């Protein structure tokens, strides 16, 4: 109690500090000092469909999207999934630093700018009930809230249920992961929107987003984007 009070008072007197290096920041509307901000990794040139970083400037799609395109139409990410975003994400998800959610969300909205006019609703990736109990919150919903508010879009929280807990098998190779998420989502409530943005924290192989997009498209959704905080450069 006393400690909290002291801490708050100190924060008030000393001003805001960089989330990464703890250096004092002059501008109260930013969360990182200029040095850390310029070090945050972003995908400079990504595949127009799956968002994975491309090495060659003149190509617009990765080989995978050209030969076997995923069920989602476009991915927009705030950062690439590398240090120190990786560590920040761990603080958010596993140490419950929920104050990072609006910071991540605003970084993502800086990349989205104006959402595609086809997007009518936002769908945070559902967590399996058991995982939700363990973690205490759904990290995708917390990210989606400020975005839904800013863009005036409804959040779909009861339309899709996750029937299998696939989240825990992060270390499986890409091919096995794709098989592992097959049929993981169940469509339980009608969705009127024809265009949907799936919201996720980290997108690695994209197999979860792909399976979710497949479930949506099988049920009448025509256009699906994935908005994620961090896009990993995973091989397909």
The residue ranges that bind Zn ion (CB under 5 A) are 18, 20-21, 33, 36, 47, 49-50, 62, 65
The least distance separating Zn ion from the CB of residue 32, rounded to whole angstroms, comes to 5
The candidate with the shortest Cα–Cα distance to 138, out of 148, 151, 126, is 126
Task: Calculate Rg over the CA atoms of the chain.
Answer: 18
Residue 101, SS3?
Answer: helix
Name which of 53 and 157 has its Cβ closer to Zn ion.
53
**Contact indicator for 205, 179 with CB cutoff of 8 Å:** no
Name which of 130 and 174 has its Cβ closer to Zn ion.
174
The least distance separating Zn ion from the CB of residue 50, rounded to whole angstroms, comes to 3
170: tokens are 């992060």
Name which of 36 and 121 has its Cβ closer to Zn ion.
36
Name which of 62 and 198 has its Cβ closer to Zn ion.
62
The least distance separating Zn ion from the CB of residue 192, rounded to whole angstroms, comes to 29
Residues facing 24 on adjacent strands = 17
Residue 210, SS3?
Answer: helix
Name which of 181 and 203 has its Cβ closer to Zn ion.
203
Q: Write out the DSSP string of 122-174.
A: EEEPPPPHHHHHHHSS-HHHHHHHHHHHHHT--B-SSSEEE-S--TT-TTS-H
């Amino acid at each position: 109690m006393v400690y909290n009070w002291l801490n708050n008072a100190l924060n008030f007197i000393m001003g805001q500090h960089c989330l990464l290096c703890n250096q004092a920041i002059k501008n109260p509307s930013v969360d990182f000092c200029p040095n850390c901000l310029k070090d945050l990794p972003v995908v400079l040139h990504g595949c127009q469909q799956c968002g994975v970083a491309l090495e060659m400037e003149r190509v617009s799609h990765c080989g995978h999207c050209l030969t076997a395109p995923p069920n989602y139409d476009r991915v927009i990410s705030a950062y690439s999934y590398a240090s120190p975003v990786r560590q920040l994400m761990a603080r958010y998800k596993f140490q419950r630093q929920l104050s990072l959610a609006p910071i991540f969300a605003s970084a993502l909205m800086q990349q989205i700018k104006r959402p595609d006019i086809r997007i009518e609703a936002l769908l945070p990736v559902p967590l399996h009930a058991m995982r939700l109990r363990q973690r205490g919150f759904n990290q995708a919903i917390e990210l989606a809230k400020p975005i839904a508010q800013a863009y005036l879009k409804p959040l779909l929280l009861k339309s899709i249920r996750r029937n299998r807990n696939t989240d825990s098998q992060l270390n499986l190779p890409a091919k096995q992961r794709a098989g592992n998420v097959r049929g993981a989502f169940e469509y339980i409530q009608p969705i009127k929107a024809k265009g949907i943005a799936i919201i996720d924290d980290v997108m690695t192989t994209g197999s979860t987003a792909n399976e979710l997009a497949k479930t949506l498209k099988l049920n009448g959704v025509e256009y699906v984007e994935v908005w994620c905080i961090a896009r990993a450069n995973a091989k397909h």
